[in-house]
């Protein structure tokens, strides 16, 4: 019997409704909020989540800040909109 297992991410992205200044590239833009969940997969189906990352990053240069779950949820609730696919 052959079992195919692996690991892979699933991402959710939101665009901030506020303009923020990036001190890395010196541009003002609407930053992106990203939630990345990593899953153990079995036969290419996500089975068990094992890690979650919350990022807030500049869409121009990619400079990012790591957020806590609470900070991420607050920003999504009060100052973000879903990012179109």
CB within 8 Å of 12: residues ≥ 6 apart: 34, 35
Predicted TM-score (pTM) of this structure:
0.80
**Spatial distance between the Cα atoms of 78 and 85, rounded to a whole number of angstroms:** 21
Place of tokens 């992205």: 13
Nearest to 66 by CA among 36, 25, 24, 45: 36
* Residue 13, φ and ψ in degrees, nearest 5: -125, 145
Whether residue 9 is predicted with pLDDT greater than 60 in this model: the reply is: yes
With beta carbons less than 8 A apart as the criterion, state whether 18 and 51 touch: no
**Rounded-to-integer distance, Cα 26 and Cα 47, Å:** 41
Give per-residue pLDDT as tens, 10-67.
Answer: 889 999 999 999 999 999 999 999 999 998 888 778 888 889 999 999 999 999 999 9
């Amino acid at each position: 019997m052959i079992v195919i297992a692996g690991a892979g991410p699933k991402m959710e992205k939101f665009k901030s409704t506020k303009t923020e200044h990036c001190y890395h590239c010196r541009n003002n833009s609407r930053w992106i909020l990203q939630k990345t969940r990593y899953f153990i997969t079995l036969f290419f189906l996500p089975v068990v989540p094992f890690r979650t990352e919350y990022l807030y990053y500049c869409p121009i240069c990619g400079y990012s800040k790591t957020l806590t779950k609470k900070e991420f949820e607050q920003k999504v609730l009060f100052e973000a909109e879903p990012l179109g696919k």
